[in-house]
A and B are shown apart, each in its own frame.
Chain A
Amino acid sequence: MGEVDLMFPFWVWLTVAIGTSVMSLVGTWVVIKKSRLLK
């Protein structure tokens, strides 16, 4: 089994970790921009 195969699950995990963190940032920014309920 080569090195690429060994790293594959980690890259998937990292993609999800970074992707969902970026999603958190963007979503929060959208709510702050759009919500009428924030002072």
Chain B
Amino acid sequence: MQFLEVPKPTVASGVWGAIAVALMLLFSLWFGLMGRRRWATFDEYMVGQRTMGPIITGAAVAAAYLSGWAFCGSAGITYTFGWSGMWFAGVWTLVGIMPCVWFTALRTRELSAAFGATTLPELLGRRFDSKLLQTVISIVMLVFLFMYSIGQLKAAGGVWYVATGWSPLACLLVAVLVTWVYMALGGYTSSQWAMGFQGAVIGAVGLIMGILAIVKIGGPIGLNQKLVAENPVLIKLIRPDLPKVGPTQLFSSLVGVLACPVLFFTMAIGFPHNVSRFLGMRELTKRDYAIMCFFVWLIAGVPIMMDCAWNGLVSRALYGPKLLKIEPWKADLANPMVAWALGGIPLLAAYVAGLFAAALSTLAAMVFIMAGNVTRDLIKLWRPQTSDKTLIWLLRILLGVFLFIPFLYTFYKPPALLALFMGQAAIALGGIFFFVTAISYYWKRATKWGAIAACIYGTVMTLWGAFQIAQKKLGMGSLLWIVVIGCGICYFLVSLLTRPPREEVLNKAFPQK
């Protein structure tokens, strides 16, 4: 079989890649700085003036949801495993993000305004009338968001190197500094505006690449003919030939394949960096709400479904298994190389910018929550006399620290223990916070002890499961079921056995009209 030669970086690809990333960062900075002067107190710094409109909110939630993994790693999955990889590679994206908007957007806004809460743990702590719960939630979020954040810049750094041939050190450092500047100056509002812009970049690049890929390869018949010619298993929808334990369970058995939509569903609703996008949203009209949902669908829907499934497969059809032999990037090269083959250097440059947008937006959303967890949910909660000025400066420093750690890990391999848990952090955040956040918004009988039980169970089982998966004793799909079902049982059972919050708190959380 004849496959394309893998292109090598040239001066032109380097210059165009650098220009595209520089433009993306400049516009992010510009959008971010628009929110610079829109705060006067610590509360406004944390959540703005609750005036964020539907377009920015919709684009920001899509950008927060779509990480560097979605824009790069998932195409690598279909490149490696063929069509069976699509179950885990974004085809269920709407099954997660749309219910996140339906179930959490309006209630997050309503509850945060009613209780004057500026972070998600604070909102939940007040809904359950419990400082203990606020503390537990903020610690659990801090642990799993930290794990999940460390790999965020890895894909961006790798693709930068492949496209330009230059070390990603300077580029990533500039990207992290620019992100810190607008976040530190403008807080929540700046982050939200920059994320809104980055969401638009991700959607546009994803859509263009997806359409070009289908056209270039000659439609589904042309694609599948090439895949079958290389290896017929590439067009199978389930791969029983792969191990049924470890991460490949998601493609090799029904237990794994069926776990994928549940993972997307719980993950998107449970991710605190998604739900927090609605904290500063203004009161919406029906028209506003429809516009917000349309933008979420437009960015996180079709472009990602095409990008994740098609691009990886088209890359496999064009390059064959060659990319798997290129150390250390391997299948992560699927998307940048398909961009290069489809649209030459200009599309490759746009893709690199899109990937930076995806990685930085998710990282920024997570970092802001982590810094808020420490300042608002731990320090301010237990030492309320701390001044706003001190808190803002501390938050700014923490933003820098939490942004800088993933940057360091991009160059120095994360410790094995941390890397082990990174992939499972999404299962934990989804399994725990689907119940603790979304169900608690609607179920009046929920109690703080039910929520704490779900937090403890989800944390312990995820840490245990990560070791089991690494030792190939457990499938990733099985772990998802164990965490989600177990968290649900703990949450409902313990809630029914314990006393709900005071009536006046419940009346505030569940107003009659």
- Where the two chains meet, the residues of A that have a C-beta atom closer than 8 Å to any C-beta of B are 1, 3, 5-10, 12-13, 16-17, 20-21, 23-24, 27-28, 30-32, 35-39
Contacts and interface: CB of A to CB of B under 8 A. Distances in A.
Contact of A9 (B83, B286, B305): B83
B110 interface: yes
A23 B94 CA distance: 9
B98 A24 contact: yes
Contacts of A27: 98-99, 102
Contact of B235 (A3, A6, A30): A6
Given A1-B228, A32-B289, A7 B106 contact: no
B94 A20 contact: yes
A24 B98 CA distance: 6
Contacts of A3: 221
Given A7-B224, A24-B98, A24-B293, A39 B283 contact: yes
A37 B98 contact: no
Classify the interface of chain A: helix, strand, loop or mixed: helix
A13 to B, nearest CB: 6
12 contacts: A6-B220, A7-B221, A9-B224, A16-B305, A17-B305, A20-B92, A21-B94, A31-B106, A31-B289, A35-B289, A37-B107, A37-B110
Contacts of B86: 13
B144 interface: no
A7 to B, nearest CB: 6
Given A6-B224, A9-B83, A24-B94, 6 more contacts: A13-B83, A13-B91, A13-B305, A20-B98, A27-B102, A39-B284
Contacts of B34: none
Interface in B418-470: none
B235 A9 contact: yes
B474 interface: no
Nearest to A1: B228
Given A21-B94, A23-B94, A24-B297, A31 B225 contact: no
A23 B98 contact: yes
Contacts of A6: 220-221, 224-225, 228, 235
A28 B288 CA distance: 12
Interface of B: 83, 86, 91-95, 98-99, 101-102, 106-107, 109-110, 220-221, 223-225, 228, 232, 235-237, 283-286, 288-290, 293, 297, 301-302, 305, 309, 513
A9 B284 CA distance: 40
Contact of B284 (A21, A24, A38): A38
Given A13-B91, A20-B94, A20-B95, A28 B289 contact: yes
A31 B102 contact: yes
A8 B235 CA distance: 9
Contacts of B98: 20, 23-24, 27-28
A28 B293 contact: yes
Contact of B290 (A7, A12, A28, A36): A28
A16 B220 contact: no
A17 B290 contact: no
A37 B106 contact: yes
Given A24-B98, A32-B286, A16 B232 contact: no
A28 to B, nearest CB: 4
B127 to A, nearest CB: 16
B284 A28 contact: no
A20 B301 CA distance: 9
B228 A36 contact: no
Nearest to B511: A36
B290 to A, nearest CB: 6
Contact of B513 (A16, A20, A24, A36): A36
A32 B289 CA distance: 7
A3 B235 CA distance: 13
A19 to B, nearest CB: 9
B167 to A, nearest CB: 38
B480 to A, nearest CB: 19
B297 A12 contact: no
A21 B221 contact: no
A17 B424 CA distance: 26
A38 B94 CA distance: 22
Contacts of B301: 20-21, 24
Contacts of B225: 6
A16 B92 contact: yes
Contacts of B288: 38
A16 B91 contact: yes
A1 to B, nearest CB: 6
Contacts of B237: 8-9, 12
Nearest to B97: A24
Contacts of B297: 21, 24
Contacts of A9: 83, 220, 224, 235-237
Contacts of A28: 98, 101-102, 289-290, 293
